[in-house]
Structure 1
Amino acid sequence: MSFDVPPTVNDVPTPCFLVDLDKVKRNVARMRDACSSLGVEHRPHVRCHRTLEGGELQTGGTRRKIVVSTLDEATFFADGGFEDILFAIPITQSKIRGCQKLANRLNEFHVLFDSQHGVQSLKHATLKDGKKWSALLKVDTGHARTGVLCDSEEAIHLAKEAHEAENVDFKGVYTHEGHSYFIKGVQEQMQFGHEIVDKLLTLASRLRATGVDCRILAAGSTPTCSHPAENAGLLTELHPGAYFFYDQELLLLGCCTSADIACRVATRVVSHKKSHNEFLVDAGYMALGHDGIAQQPPGGFCKFQEYDHLRMVCLDQEMGKVTTTNSKLDFDEFPIGKILFIYPYHAGSTASQHPLYFVHSGERVTGTWRPTRGWHPRSNHVPEKHLCA
């Protein structure tokens, strides 16, 4: 689909999602350098942006070693020339056929399991030419989402069964410590990360005592990877993702500075409601998402660039209501048609609302990125070339 690229960020159609390429490159370089200093592999999660261009930056141009969260993402990146892809949703029978296709076509495709159902699904699914499934045990280190409890006997039993399966190459253990998003402060995050590493090391030791080797010990959320614990180098892989953009939530947690947030939503004033001391913008929940509203964080769930006193107080599908912490809005300062820029609470959720990103360097728009969308792989993935330099 052709699209005329506007010359500057002030000329973009609204609402739209803006990506600051210079900040993204700095965020990626900092995370890659941190992993290198620790001596661990950097396996970035790509679900925050879901673009080939973003994946290329995160992998340093190698197009190798990424994490995806849907089969559509896996297919999209495989079609785009990416290899060594880890599908980070526990395997179930309903996803076996899609995973078989990817495992057969890629040199390295990895799956997770966290149940007897998952292990049995792998054991009863063959790959071509005698190839084995590359599989890791997904463990729960306290997040209470997916994963078998890290300190349980079930973890040992499942890993051992996968290790002994003729068509499975058991690689190790994987965790996503999503509960790190409840921890605020650098020192607290580092202590939290230290405890996560200790839990994985203890499990690996228990597994090795039963004859099950762990070649991969993988962990990492953006909060724990932004300020890694001193023992993080004892892992083999870190797999953060949200650091690519950062956002208002991660700023409030102390994971980044405002200068690190590499995405914004551009919006324009569309109406004045002087009787209510509000104006309306053309960015509603379809452009921003609802994340952060329930938390009511200090300063609001999203942040208006250059206007600290503005607050988004309500979101409809296509419009947002804005007021001020001052006594009265100056409507002359915010005339109809004025463009405003919003830093989102949750970058990944906000990005997922937009079918196109406008990429800029400074004020100049340099091109567009088109993310993949949806959950189910499509047969017509044709990666488009977009200007991203």
Structure 2
Amino acid sequence: MTDSTFCQVAIDTPLRQAFDYRLTTHSSVKPGMRVRVPFGRREVVGLVLRVGSSTTVAPEKLRDVIAVLDEVPLLGAADLALLEWAAGYYHHPVGEVVATALPKALRTVRKRAARERAAPARANAVAARESPHELSPAQQAACEALRAARGASNFLLDGVTGSGKTEVYMQAVADVLGRGGAVLVLCPEIGLTPQLLERFQERFDAPIASLHSGLTDAARGREWLRAARGEARIVIGTRSAVFTPIPGLALIIVDEEHDASYKQQDGDLRYSARDLALVRGQLQQVPVVLGSATPSLESLHNAERGRFTHLKLPERAGRAEPPRIALVDLRAHAVHKGIAAPVLASMRRHLQAGSQVLVFLNRRGYAPTLLCQACGWIAPC
């Protein structure tokens, strides 16, 4: 047989292996393309991981690829490497990892579906709709460090609330877009995606793709394909967007990197999108920025060890003042149903002035200890 006679295909199944298929009339198949193949008594959509001229399975036992669904690979070599790295690191079947990365609309068998075509040429020029804000010295230093970054490098942008981390992101993105690159921005929750998307739309006259679980399957597939074809220069999404293929990717930003929402805690594949973003940066040789007002312990540890460049924004931007914080000693004040007298007085004062009061409860309907409000004595078990 000639070269490229066989291909290994990742299929959404709990079996920890890829499956070999024979290529008879589909000689143009490349890694990263989707194919329709027989699997048991049904037909499924799989992703080609490798193409070669040899197989460990007897050729007469192999089945043929039925159809090739793409004209060009949807995922590049680095994208496939990330998927296989995740399968190995998280000890998970590679087919289910691929199913997590691909939108449902692209994993559904449609026998008359049009093949995905080659990406159109991308325009490099990007106009700014809004002028950059004036930077503080700390912001300026952070921006200069990010502008100078090339290749695989990790940054921890450690800034207090209101210090202007988003403005640093914006100026770093503007620099990347000016060089013809693309940017991936991760945010922890779907509720933050529209707000971040609006900020970027106000700032940049550039196509933006948004990926989150609030989209329908069809809409998510369309946004994913816009990113994969290079039509969107900025991709903003929640944790699963870390797998999205982005031609010309030159910067990855993980906003609120400490947030537990970046960890997929249920479903088939359980992973950390923040950690995968760092791995992707290494595989694709692009800088990764982790931003937070309260960095995770592991990120602080990596910064102290020199693995991350620690960029600090210690002051609020402009004339913004930090909130006044008061610590109330429950032993020195009367307590009514768990709320101290000074707190009640402050709440009444704000309500009488027509303001709002927000009360956070650490737990609802449960007290872990029995405490004497007079002396602070805690009843032992």
Scaled by the length of structure 2, what TM-score is found? 0.29
Q: Decide which structure has greater strand share.
A: 1
Larger radius of gyration: 2
